[in-house]
Structures are given as structure tokens and as C-alpha cells.
Amino acid sequence: MQPEHQIRADFDRETIVVYQAYSDQIADPALRNGRFVEPFSFNRMTWIKPSFLWLMHSSNWAQKSGQERILAIRIRRAGWYSALAKGVLTAFDPRAHRSKDEWADAFASARVHVQWDPERNMRGAALQHGSIQVGISRDLIREYNEDWITEIKDLSPTVAKMRSLIRSGDVKAAAKHLPPERPYPILPALGRHLVL
């Protein structure tokens, strides 16, 4: 049985893969430049997710308007750690904060938001364990874009193939295309405020 809160991701010694869904207008120049460029907005929070299947559920397998392109963004683990260290949960949890007032004060000034949502299976059903989302504020987006990102890949063709296989009833064949995700090691110092 999976722990209630556990980060699972595709990662190596130096980097971790997170996923985002965008329109062609944002995805194409990002892929050409290896970084996000206009019309990507640097003035609002951007959410990154290490769970491929959570993003498939959220984007309806790349069929929602403005989310037709699925990007795998490889970022430096140092940047990911920095984001987690700055993170404040989007809802009060007594395991992370002593009081609602303490949480509200921390949240109001947070540069990174952290949210746990139910993980999803191949068919989109909610599972009992959580999937982490990390929201990077506009104060940090340029650092994310310029310093953390090492590579951007377009997974849209693979997603289309998987979507077709699932529609035809061959979930097992679709699952063969899933990115590898395994438990991500977290330093004990991060455990309490992220309820890990």
C-alpha cells in the first residue's frame, strides 16, 4: 500500500522530470528554445507536477482546450529542492502548522504553493494516495525557466498513442508507454511542512 503522501517521479542524480500541459502557441516556441518564451506568462503562478497520470487526468489526456500539448520538463534537483523548501500547503493541515493563523500568515507570503490531490490510475479513477503539485510564484518563474530547466520534450505523440489504446480497451498496452516513476528521496527537514 502506498503512503498517503509520497513524491514519485522520473529522476536521476542531477535532475527530475515534471509535466505541464499547454497550447501549441506556448509549447512550440518552448521546444524550439529549450526554455519558455512569450506568450508564456511570467506574471502568474505556474504549476509543475511530477505525476504523469495526474496531468493526464487534469488535461483529459491532452484534450482540454489550451492543454493539447504535454511537455516533459527536466529540471535540476537543486531547483526542485529549493521549491519544496519554500513551499506552503494550499490548505491548513495541523501536521504542518500549529494553527490556522500560522498557516495563513505563511501562505500569504509564500513564493511556492504545494497541494496534494488524489493520484490517478490509467482510466482516471482517484487512488487512495496523494500526488503533489508545486506552484511556482511569479517571483521565482524566471529562475525556474532560466536556471532550473535542462531540457523540454514533447510527449504529445506518445499521449495520443496511449489515449487511442485506452479507448480501444488495451490499457495494458498503453501502460507500456508510461514514464518511469519511483519514490523520490526527501530530506527529513522537508517532511513536516509538506506532510510527508
Over residues 157-189, the pLDDT tens digits come to 999 999 999 999 999 999 999 999 999 998 887
Q: Which residue has the cell 487512495?
A: 128
pLDDT above 80: residue 1 = no
**192 against 105, higher pLDDT:** 105
What is the percentage of the chain residues whose pLDDT exceeds 70?
100
Whole-number pLDDT of residue 44? 94
Determine the Cα–Cα distance for residues 86 and 84; give it in Å rounded to an integer: 5
Phi, psi (rounded to 5 degrees) for 180: -70, 130
Q: Please state the rounded mean pLDDT for residues 103-132.
A: 95
Whole-number pLDDT of residue 86? 95
pLDDT above 90: residue 16 = yes
Q: Please state the rounded mean pLDDT for residues 124-136.
A: 96
**Cα dihedral: 157, 163, 166, 170 (round 10):** -10
Structure-block grid coordinates of residue 39: 506568450
Could you report the per-residue pLDDT of 150-164, keeping only the tens digit for each?
999 999 999 999 999
Determine the Cα–Cα distance for residues 19 and 75; give it in Å rounded to an integer: 10
Whole-number pLDDT of residue 186? 87
| Band of residue 196 on the pLDDT scale cut at 50, 70, 90 | confident
Structure-block grid coordinates of residue 161: 498513442
Whole-number pLDDT of residue 177? 98
What average pLDDT does the structure give for the chain?
A: 95
Q: Which residue has the cell 484534450?
A: 63
